[in-house]
Amino acid sequence: MSATIIDGKAYAAALRIRIAAGVADFAEATGRRPGLAVVLVGEDPASSVYVRSKGKATEAAGMIGIEHRLPADTSQADLLALVAALNTDATIDGILVQLPLPEPIDEAAVIQAIDPDKDVDGFHPVNAGRLATGLPGFVPCTPLGCLMLLKDTLGDLAGRDAVVIGRSNIVGKPMAALLTQASCTVTVAHSRSRDLPGIVGRADIVVAAVGRAKMVKGDWLKPGATVIDVGINRTEAGLVGDVDFDAALAVAGAITPVPGGVGPMTIAVLLRNTLVSAARRDGHPLDAASL
């Protein structure tokens, strides 16, 4: 038996069509388009590619995309001044400061300067706290995209055993919070966990977000498990995930490929969060759950 391949690219494309329809409704009702500001400091090539594709996707969804490209030697004070200006700019609904930021800028200080109600990345501690306590806020794009793929694959997640491998603020921790909220029994595993194969082997759902090529072996998996691979590792053999995909195919029930799985979901959810932000700020009715 071979696992079902979870087609994140197709899911993301369909989500972007629903978002574009929501944007058109919003624009008709309010007379303006949602605006997303993306800030890139320095010329990291990978970040530069991400920022360009975010800009294109924003425009394709009918939103206004504003790019701020600042030199690598930008001072923290100048960056904070830009964030403050975006916070008070009524045409901007979402602010994303691309990470990582160059030294010596203090990333935490910059994230905390963003208005939590424009923090479409969901990185501000206020939004992390809202997620942890079940209040409405913004959820980081990658884990929310993973949750959408899981619900689309499995339906109701209640009662399932889930393992999240990785405990980053961007993926692992918010992913665990989302799965807890969906009534899974959640284990967060990480580099110091003992007996990772044993922990993974009990899980109905495995979310791998460690950034180590093919670290999760096929024979660790419980037969029929659903596997979400967040890893994007550049190797001599090309892009590979955190899961040994070929070996996992024979054991898993369903699995995301790399590329074409989780990756395309991140930008689609960023657009979703920006539309949700615009609707909240203008009191425009939007059924976010239907997106």
Active site members:
54, 98, 121
Per DSSP (E only), the strands in the chain are 4-5, 35-41, 64-70, 94-97, 161-165, 185-189, 205-208, 226-229, 233-235, 238-240, 254-255
Question: Scanning residues 257 to 276, which ones bind ligand GUN (CB under 6 A)?
Answer: 266
Q: Where are the alpha helices (DSSP H) in 31-124?
A: 45-60, 76-88, 107-113
| 97 near ligand GUN, judged by CB under 6 A | yes
Which window, 61-69, 96-104, 176-184, 225-233, contacts ligand GUN (CB under 6 A)? 96-104
CB of 121 vs ligand GUN, minimal distance in Å: 5
Site string for ligand GUN, 18-57 (x = CB under 6 A): ----------------------------------------
| 132 near ligand GUN, judged by CB under 6 A | no
| Residues in binding contact with ligand GUN, number by CB under 6 A | 7
CB of 97 vs ligand GUN, minimal distance in Å: 6
In sequence order, what are the residues at sequence separation of 6 or more whose Cβ sits closer than 8 angstroms to the Cβ of residue 125?
A: 111, 112
The amino acid present at 271, given as its one-letter code, is L
**Among candidates 10, 282, 279, which has minimal Cα distance to 138?**
279
- Contacting ligand GUN (CB under 6 A), which of 99, 215, 247, 286? 99
- The residue written with tokens 């918010």 in the block is 174
**Among candidates 58, 60, 61, 131, which has minimal Cα distance to 95?**
58
Which window, 78-86, 94-102, 159-167, 225-233, contacts ligand GUN (CB under 6 A)? 94-102
Cβ atoms of 230 and 209 within 8 Å: the answer is yes
List residues binding ligand GUN (CB under 6 A).
96-99, 121, 141, 266
